[in-house]
Structure 1
């Protein structure tokens, strides 16, 4: 009997059926249960249900952004979108009270254009733009009996309460002991993962798994960089812990460079170095010392660089803090403006403006009492970081139907208003767990929002919620596939352009004039440029992967054709430049293998970028 091979599912459908597998974030679950529900109950006890609804909304959105990671990064990840949401709630309240329907729709479209363009800057900016627009719609349409400033203040208090719970959390140590340094346990875990990633890359040297391990190392470096980027929240651990952890992260960068060069060269993996890196990882995670490291074996330039980096790491761990810092280049206003005003920002801003404005117009024409649901839902659906367009539309529709059915059943059994408060507590606790799948998150948020509406004085509207969501799905499907000026795929092209510029800067630095001294400062600048190149390349690869999973429309396919291959070639180029940097620092000249591979990659990249204008790197390489 012949077994027919299974036909692969379309990428957009496969994404809709896929669930992320990750540990249950019990800390976030507890924070969710202790945030929105108690705030709402306290407001009801004080006779201020509108204030409780606004505070619960702030806590809900903060709970959606309450992802695993360091406490430092959570200030920016939760706080910035919360401020934007409060501003949107205030602006929407003022506009809803003073503008007619046509003027309000035009204002929504303009705000969608600006917020959508800003959302292209990065994940936090995307969350901030989304919260601003959603709360702008809620402020304009929700019947909350409070002035604009009180609504905004209550929203900030709700988000701030959950953030305070996030910052107060202290992971327990072995045996349940609480120690001061464990306030930074997540940050230390992120840095330890970098050392583990370097060891895994060395183990994969000379095998087909080396590229995947290098990609995983890049992700670990990105996570650690983000974990150390926020303001240091000092406990009695003091600033010495911060300096020590930063120094240990900086010590990992030369090791990552050496491991990448060794993987490129394809040499035998040094088991002694792998054991040493595992010891360094354990020392970072426990806040201790790695003990003695193995003696060096200086055979090739790559091994000499690895041994030198291990020696410097040993010195860093021994003296605790201090040493040479590798500074992270932050995006200045010019770079942020270039991203927002570039092809990706313009395309996404225009789609958000059309969806947000069209949603408001259709909703007000229908004269529905909950008209603000439609534009708010459209803003969520148009976000590309939630997966392919058809996938997120299917998940949103299914999640809304399930959530509305669950709410209707629970509301019929539970007494008011205690039943709604209970639903808010349960739903808020489930939000962090449900973020692993968009349909599950939608179902949980639907129950929470419908409960808040009833507490705020509105009639139950589960059926209307389904109808408004389906209308929003139709609008986003139409607008998401419209051919716009400048063509589709602007986000992919913009990310590839940023990655190409970063690779160009790194290549130009490494292949500088022969007379340039290879000083420690020169190496430090190179590592900073290398980090930026790999980070932008990871973003470009993710954008290309998302574009490949969309519906294969002719205009979209033409605009993103070759994007994935170009991202792969750029990563191979940065790998090769890393190997060139190690070779030049050791011997002062490149081998024939280095130059041939570099030339071949530049030529292939130049061919991949046609017919678009090619950057200077590709024109002159």
Structure 2
């Protein structure tokens, strides 16, 4: 139960709205509460400093959307407004393909532009933008300043880095879990869990001011502890590749290291594993290195590469960005056109909340929230449940004090409800309907249900429309990146086996790219058959690339110990490269050329 996030949610939207109502500026409070609600959705577990980017970046995009939407609503008619919305959707959709933070920024840009264009507020655009930033900034301040429960206990360390400590400790626990599973069917899943733990720790430590050269002793210690986990992860992966069981003693050392990270204590004596094979010798050496790094705490490299502007542009304008951008543009523009047509036909009566329709379509069209049919059904079910619940509560709660309290309670429930899209939709529906009533409009549960169902229909149609180019662009783009990273990693191990620092950078990049590809493939496979068929066979490619990276890691560990590869290593590499080359009918997915197999044994 994320009690800290629950407390932040309770102290964010509700109190902001209460202060604005008391000051006679309810409309400003509504905008600030909407921003706090969206920031609460992005308030995920992790370090405090990485939350600055995770919450602050989308908030800035939302403020821009508020200004653009307000101006477009004030100066453009129906066709012009639809064109602006479609253009914003194309931009936001393309940018969303870059990553989770960019996706959240694109969402808030579009939602805020719809609210700015349609919500009848007396304030000019810049005031709305300031209120939006204030709402998100208030929750961000709570995230950075408030301590977590138990953070001041004995041995807890600097509470500002509790999220970073937890992420690094999880890496050591994942190494231990993989060592326990070596030689069993669980090893593959445990290796994937280790990749996820390393990705999470790398992201958390790479937050603002947690760069390669840390400024405080606590940061330097965390960097050293993370860097010391990389050779342990490499040795554990090599043991899993070999498939021979190891003693339980091998996993005891990483578990003690995990406890030392969580408690900010010294490691104490670490049990040494048997040094009978190269991978076990590498594990023993890595444990010794970790114990030394923990004591010295002199910092360490995060072993990550930043995306260049050219790489980001390639993603935005590549197949995934184009396909996603077109679908968002069509959904956002079409829903705005339908909403404005209904508004001019007086379908909304005397109230002007037509902006709900395009804002709802924004959430529905996002593929990172689940398969299309699943998220449409969850959105519909959650909206009906939330609207009916609010209708009951609105009949008994006093206005506005009861509604303000309902906003506070809903804000507290958001961190829990984000675990399921239907639950999140229900909570957000209650919160939004309460905000609308505080803003001066009557209870609108029935129209909220109708608009959501209409948005679901629009997104379902757009989601199944044929697009220019080959379908499954996101999956193919992820696989292309994974293939390039896997081959770069193999080439470096073959050509420069002594450069371990560079090797760890490429290894991390290869496994991260594979994890992203696996996620995209699993999501596409869960779609309806009309969409899922466009990515058939990609799971086989990902499995081959995964085995290639695992084998390359085993080769690297063996080269460190003996300086040469065994026939088992070279034959496995050659076989995998041959299998990948046999997939030449999918040239846009992976490059089947790779390193020349004839030079692998040299």
**What interval of TM-score do these two structures reach, taking the shorter chain for normalisation?**
over 0.9
Is the Cα–Cα contact under 8 Å of residues 232 and 242 in structure 1 kept in the other structure? no
In the TM superposition, residue 37 of structure 1 has moved relative to its aligned partner by: 0.7
The counterpart of 1:573, out of the listed 544, 548, 551, is: 548
Query: Is it true that 1:363 corresponds to 2:307 in the alignment?
Result: no
Instruction: Give the superposition deviation at 1:362.
Output: 0.6
Call closer, same or farther: CA 1:620–1:102 in 2, change over 3 Å. Answer: farther
Distance 2:189 2:222 in 1: 27
Residue in structure 1 matched with residue 460 of structure 2 by the alignment:
477
Q: Distance in 2 between matches of 1:200 and 1:611?
A: 36
Segments ≥4 residues shifted beyond 6 Å: none
1:431–1:445 Cα contact (<8 Å) kept: yes
- 2:162 aligned with 1:185: yes
Q: CA deviation at 1:461?
A: 1.4
Please name the residue that 2:418 is paired with: 435
Q: From the superposition, tell whether residues 392 and 285 of structure 1 become closer, same or farther in structure 2 (CA, over 3 Å).
A: same
Which whole-Å CA distance do the structure 1 matches of 2:195 and 2:412 have between them?
32
CA change 1:595–1:178 in 2 (3 A) is closer
2:475 pairs, out of 492, 497, 502, with 492
Length-normalised TM-score, structure 2: 0.94
* Number of residue-to-residue matches in the alignment: 587
- Counterpart for residue 227 of structure 1: 204
| CA distance, structure 1, for counterparts of residue 236 and residue 76 of structure 2 | 61
Instruction: Give the 3 Å change call, closer, same or farther, for CA 45–557 of structure 1 in structure 2.
Output: closer
User: 2: CA distance between counterparts of 1:385 and 1:153?
Assistant: 29
Match of 2:600 in 1: none
SS in structure 2 of the partner of residue 473 of structure 1:
helix
Root mean square deviation, CA, Å = 1.8
Are positions 1:318 and 2:295 aligned together? yes
Change (3 A) 1:611 1:36: closer
In structure 1, C-alpha distance between the alignment counterparts of 2:58 and 2:490, rounded to whole Å = 36
Once the two structures are TM-superposed, the CA of residue 337 in structure 1 deviates from its matched residue by: 1.0
Change (3 A) 1:184 1:174: closer
TM-score between both structures, scaled by the size of structure 1 = 0.92
Q: Distance in 2 between matches of 1:161 and 1:303?
A: 50
1:102-113 matches, within 5 Å, as 102-113=79-90
2:267 alignment counterpart: 290
Among 440, 456, 469, the alignment partner of 2:439 is 456
The structural deviation recorded for 1:290 is 1.0
How big is each residue's C-alpha offset from its partner over 1:460-510, in whole Å with a ceiling of 9 and x where there is no partner? 211111111111000000000111111321111111111111111101111
Report what 2:323 is aligned to.
347
Pairwise mapping of residues 105-124 of structure 1 onto structure 2 (< 5 A)? 105-124=82-101
Unaligned runs of 5+ in 1: 1-23
2:537 matched residue in structure 1: 562
Matched residues in 2 for 1:174 and 1:64: separation? Answer: 24
Please tell me whether the aligned partners of residues 382 and 480 of structure 1 are also in contact (alpha carbons under 8 angstroms). yes
The within-5 A match list for 1:187-266 is 187-232=164-209, 239-266=216-243
Q: How does 1:517-556 map to 2 (within 5 A)?
A: 518-519=497-498, 522-553=499-530, 556=531
**Does the 8 A contact of 2:72 with 2:117 survive in 1?**
yes
Aligned to 1:14: none
Query: Which residue of structure 1 aligns with residue 21 of structure 2?
Result: 44
**1:562, 1:608 within 8 Å by CA — same for their partners in 2?**
no
Structure 2 residue 386 is the aligned partner of structure 1 residue 411 = no
Give the drift of 1:440: 1.0
- Which runs of no fewer than 5 residues in structure 2 stay unpaired? 598-602
> Residue in 2 aligned with 1:445?
428
Tell me if structure 1 keeps the 8 A contact 2:365–2:459: yes
SS of the aligned residue for 1:463 comes to helix
CA distance in 2, matches of 1:103, 1:264: 59
1:387 aligns with 2:370: yes
Give 1:333 deviation, angstroms: 1.0
Task: Tell me what 1:421 maps to.
Answer: 404
Change (3 A) 1:557 1:620: farther
Give the Cα–Cα distance (whole angstroms) in 1 for the partners of residues 19 and 517 of structure 2: 46
Question: Matches of 1:576 and 1:284 in 2, distance apart?
Answer: 30
2:303 aligns to what? 327
Is this contact kept in 2: 1:251–1:309, CA < 8 A?
yes
**Residues 119-165 of structure 1, C-alpha deviations (whole Å, 9 max, x = no match):** 00001110100010011001000011101111000111010101111
Is the partner of 1:608 in helix, strand or coil?
A: coil
